Structure 1
Amino acid sequence: MNHALQLPRLEKTIPLSVVPSRLAAANAAVARFLIQAGAVREGDIPQAWDDALQVCERALDAWVKRELGALHCFRPYFSLAAVDEAGGYPSASCKEPVRYHKVDICWGECREQQWAVGDALEALERQQAGCGAAVLDVLREKSRFVYPLFTPDLACDVVSYVYWCGEENEEVALDMECGDNEDEREAMREEMVTRKKLDESFPAWVIATPRKRRLSRRALARLAQDASDPLARDIAADVLALATLRIEDEFRPDVDGEYIGFGAVLSWREDDLTVRIYDDLLQMAHQSEFCDRMGELEIAIDAPQAMRGWQSAMRVRFKTIRLLDRLIDRLSAGN
């Protein structure tokens, strides 16, 4: 008779890892802080858990998911870390008593993706002059302090300092690298992003500085109601809703070096010049200091009311993120 060997199993009440008591007590203080702030609900706490700090992180993630709902284009992350008075992160091997002084919260995009929006914007511009430009303006303006987007018009602005030494075209950069050697100049011109390539990649109303005047809110409202194309009506309605939101410049990260904390790359066509400019910007940024966060703040662990204030202030940002996400999904036809 064959007897199957039974592998030993731990009871569910036995923790899978052991947190030193000095660290567990400090982590419990963070949990108490979040409970007082109303950031942790009873349903967020599992029946069995090892570390109160991990429960706090999961509770923050659950709250964000409840507020945002399902998204099509974005994959935001929010992280919470407890730090001591010196700004350090105590470890399990620490022998001294642990006392947290504050919590650090930061957020950003897990993995930015490319979304081609040129066809939809050109169709809107044909239907109503200035509509495509208005959509780009609102996308860039309203995402700036909430969920920054790398848009085609931003790519046109970035070109100057990434390739052209801050000038309007590539001639000064060619002078510095090649001098009067025409063969070298032409070879370098062929490889780099030039004024001609930029002008050929986007409509004039995207590149123009200052760009074409945007539509008024009244014109957007008429388009949202009267446009013959249902998609154009939906896009105009989303843009109008975004334009009416008031977003304070809060929680901006402390930028040291190049900022690359973008939530998505809005290209004109699939893998077009926008993507190349973005990739080159990233490569340049990673050679020195850079910032890839969208927002951050510090909250004293004895100030749960400040945590409640942050959660309240984030609700308009969550609404903005939902609108941006839906608008990009519609402009890109979900591709």
Structure 2
Amino acid sequence: MRWLETGEIQEGASGLPSSLVQQAMQDWINRQVGQLQHFAFEALIAASPEALSYGSLFPEASEKDDQWYWALQSEQVAWLSMKDRLTRIEAACPGLGETALYWLHRASGRTLYVLTPETARHLCEYIHWQGSCNQADWLEEMTAMGMTDEDLGESISPDWFDGHFPAWVINPKSVLDEAVLTGLAEAGGEAALLATTLLDIERLEADGGRLPGLEGLDVECVYFGAYLKWDAEDPVERVFDDFIEYANCACDGYTDLYGAEAMPLDPEGFYVWQCKTGLGLQLVSALDRLVGLIAEPV
């Protein structure tokens, strides 16, 4: 009914309601995101979570609820490398590359989370470092567990991991504020497109753009929206492989969904959902442009 009211389903259209809604939503999503180059996902929608095969994520769902359910299914994308492009960007305009990484990490956390060196370091903290985040604490923890010097030498340690990257890559800050980015965008030149894209991302996030995550659902996604290494020698891909193995050993707590949520069907609730989700999809589109500016195929 709501998709009919918004014009996404034409009056007189024939077919199963579920199929009509699925197609209408997919067409709407495609208009919001455009042609993605570096992200990929499939939108699933159904009148009940069981129809999505993910009923356990919504244990309190009822057939009487005035809502549908939708989810974002992960799809495979190619690994990309950032070193060459980001090094050139930082050399030409100090702080711009770091600011780009900051907004990539921040905004992807509201949409489709991106695997970067920063993200991989966070994974290491619980799959390799037992909650430690620095070399001294890690050594103390590993020694207490009885690991030998030989064991330690073969492990991914904090210092060994960090040594593969400039410090600003694994802990990026928003070095350039909105005023500086606006100046770069207006000045033209090579930095203008990147600055404009970052301003778009800031605006879409400030306006409330987001996509469903897995908060409160007691599961974590094992996949990422995009995969960005620093260079061919860094350990990011190795850490991801270790994470997959870790997740396989505890499969009940992991899923291949990026996110899932109920879609309200009352007029006000649906309007709020569509506005928020539309901005979130546009945010993915902006992030896709950003990735294309700072990374290239491995």
Band of TM-score, shorter chain: 0.7 to 0.9
Distance, in Å, in 2 between the alignment partners of 1:118 and 1:159 is 21
User: Counterpart in 2 of 1:298?
Assistant: 262
User: Counterpart in 1 of 2:60?
Assistant: none
1:132 to partner: Cα distance: 1.8
Taking structure 2 as the reference length, the TM-score comes to 0.80
The SS at the match of 2:94 is coil
User: Counterpart in 2 of 1:332?
Assistant: 295
User: Counterpart in 1 of 2:57?
Assistant: none
1:272-310 Cα offsets, whole Å, 9 max, x none, are: 311222222232223220244333322455x25533432
Would you say 1:267 and 2:229 are equivalent positions?
yes
2:9 aligned partner, one-letter code: V
1:65-124 Cα offsets, whole Å, 9 max, x none, are: 1222211111121111112xxx65499xxxxxxx77431111243224322112212222
Compared with structure 1, are the counterparts of its residues 270 and 54 closer, same or farther at alpha carbon in structure 2 (3 Å cutoff)? farther
1:62 aligned partner, one-letter code: D
Distance, in Å, in 2 between the alignment partners of 1:120 and 1:38 is 43
2:140 aligned partner, one-letter code: V
Summarize the alignment of residues 1-335 of structure 1 with structure 2, pairs less than 5 Å apart. Answer: 32=1, 34-36=3-5, 38-41=7-10, 45=13, 49=15, 51-83=16-48, 88-89=50-51, 101=65, 102-167=67-132, 168-169=134-135, 170-179=138-147, 181=148, 185-186=149-150, 188-207=151-170, 211-212=172-173, 214-226=175-187, 228=189, 230=190, 232-245=191-204, 246-248=206-208, 251-253=212-214, 254-270=216-232, 272-288=234-250, 289-299=253-263, 303-333=266-296
CA contact (8 A) 1:106 1:293 kept: yes
The SS at the match of 2:162 is helix
CA contact (8 A) 2:211 2:281 kept: no
Taking structure 1 as the reference length, the TM-score comes to 0.72
CA contact (8 A) 1:121 1:331 kept: yes
Compared with structure 1, are the counterparts of its residues 327 and 42 closer, same or farther at alpha carbon in structure 2 (3 Å cutoff)? farther
CA contact (8 A) 2:111 2:280 kept: yes
1:140 aligned partner, one-letter code: H
1:177 to partner: Cα distance: 4.4
1:163 to partner: Cα distance: 0.9
1:158-205 Cα offsets, whole Å, 9 max, x none, are: 3222211122124135314444x4xxx32x234321233213211122
1:227 to partner: Cα distance: 6.5
- Greater radius of gyration (CA): 1
Compared with structure 1, are the counterparts of its residues 255 and 120 closer, same or farther at alpha carbon in structure 2 (3 Å cutoff)? farther
1:322 to partner: Cα distance: 1.0
1:141 to partner: Cα distance: 1.0
The SS at the match of 2:121 is helix
CA contact (8 A) 1:37 1:304 kept: no
Distance, in Å, in 2 between the alignment partners of 1:237 and 1:66 is 21
The SS at the match of 2:47 is strand
Number of residue pairs aligned between Structure 1 and Structure 2 = 280
2:122 aligned partner, one-letter code: D
Distance, in Å, in 1 between the alignment partners of 2:11 and 2:180 is 48
Q: Comparing both chains, which one has the higher relative contact order based on Cα–Cα distances under 8 Å and sequence gaps of 6 or more?
A: 2
Distance, in Å, in 2 between the alignment partners of 1:36 and 1:304 is 10
User: Counterpart in 1 of 2:59?
Assistant: none
What is the root-mean-square deviation in Å for CA atoms of aligned residues? Answer: 3.0
